Chains A and B, each alone.
Chain A
Amino acid sequence: DAKTTQPTSMDCAEGRAANLPCNHSTISGNEYVYWYRQIHSQGPQYIIHGLKNNETNEMASLIITEDRKSSTLILPHATLRDTAVYYCIVGGATNKLIFGTGTLLAVQP
C-alpha cells in the first residue's frame, strides 16, 4: 500500500475554508484516496474517498490532481467541532487502511 505525507498541524479560522494537503506520489492505479478524522480519542470517522475524479459530499470536498500524486481535503466552512486529527490514506481492494500520524487541524474562534 502506498504511503502518504501530511503536514503535522494546521490552523484555520472559524467560518473559513480549511484546505488539508496530502502527498501520495507512489499511489497505484487501483488505489483509492480516503480521508478520515479522529476527534479527541474517539473512533475515526469516515469523511470522503475518491479514485480519480473530484468528490463532494455533505461534509467535505476532495480534490485529486490529474496525476493522482496529491490531493486536498476541503472543509468549506470550518467550525470549532472540526478540530481533529485528519488522516489521508490510500488503500486498495482489500480495504486495509494504513494510518499515518495525520494532520492536527485546530480551528480558531
Chain B
Amino acid sequence: NAGVTQTPKFRVLKTGQSMTLLCAQDMNHEYMYWYRQDPGMGLRLIHYSVGEGTTAKGEVPDGYNVSRLKKQNFLLGLESAAPSQTSVYFCASSRTSGRGVEQFFGPGTRLTVL
C-alpha cells in the first residue's frame, strides 16, 4: 500500500494564480484532512471531510476550497494565491471510530507564493 500520497511535492506560484493540491489514500478511510504548517509552528487544520461528498471547515479555512468527489481523493484548491499561503501542506486520512483513531499523514507539499 502507498498509504497517503500528495501531488505535487513542490510548487512556486505568483500572487493571484490558482492551483489544486491532490491527496490520495488507498486505505479505504472515511475521514480525510488538510493541514498547513508554517515555520516553527504546529499543524493547523484547514478543511476536513467525513465521507465522500462531504466537507467541513477547520481552524483556518479562508482562502481555500476543497472537494471530495471520490472516497480516495481529497482536493485542496487555492483560487487566488497570496504570499500568506506560503506553507507546507499536509494531507491525512483516518478510519472512523468512537474509540480514538490514528491519522496517517502524507509527505507534504511545499508551496511558495511570490
Whether A99 and B42, one on each chain, are in contact in the complex, defined by CB atoms closer than 8 angstroms, is yes
**Cα–Cα distance between A87 and B92 once the two chains are bound (Å):** 16
Per-residue contact bits, chain B 50-92, to A (CB 8 Å; 1 contact, 0 not) = 0000000011000000000000000000000000000010101
* B2 proximal to A (CB < 8 A): no
Instruction: List residues of chain B with CB within 8 A of the CB of A41.
Output: 88, 108
Whether A101 and B43, one on each chain, are in contact in the complex, defined by CB atoms closer than 8 angstroms, is no
Total count of chain A residues near the partner, CB < 8 A: 23
* Residues 8-42 of B at the A interface (beta carbon under 8 Å): 31, 33, 35, 40-42
Whether B90 and A43, one on each chain, are in contact in the complex, defined by CB atoms closer than 8 angstroms, is yes
* A97 proximal to B (CB < 8 A): yes
* A81 proximal to B (CB < 8 A): no
Instruction: List residues of chain A with CB within 8 A of the CB of B94.
Output: 95
Q: How far is the CB of A39 from chain B (nearest CB, A)?
A: 11
Q: How far is the CB of A104 from chain B (nearest CB, A)?
A: 10
Whether B105 and A101, one on each chain, are in contact in the complex, defined by CB atoms closer than 8 angstroms, is no
Instruction: List residues of chain A with CB within 8 A of the CB of B96.
Output: 95
Instruction: List residues of chain B with CB within 8 A of the CB of A100.
Output: 42
Interface residues of B (CB under 8 A from A): 4, 31, 33, 35, 40-45, 48, 58-59, 88, 90, 92, 94, 96, 98-108
Given contacts A51-B99, A93-B98, A99-B43, 6 further A-B contacts (CB under 8 A): A32-B100, A34-B100, A41-B88, A44-B90, A44-B92, A99-B44
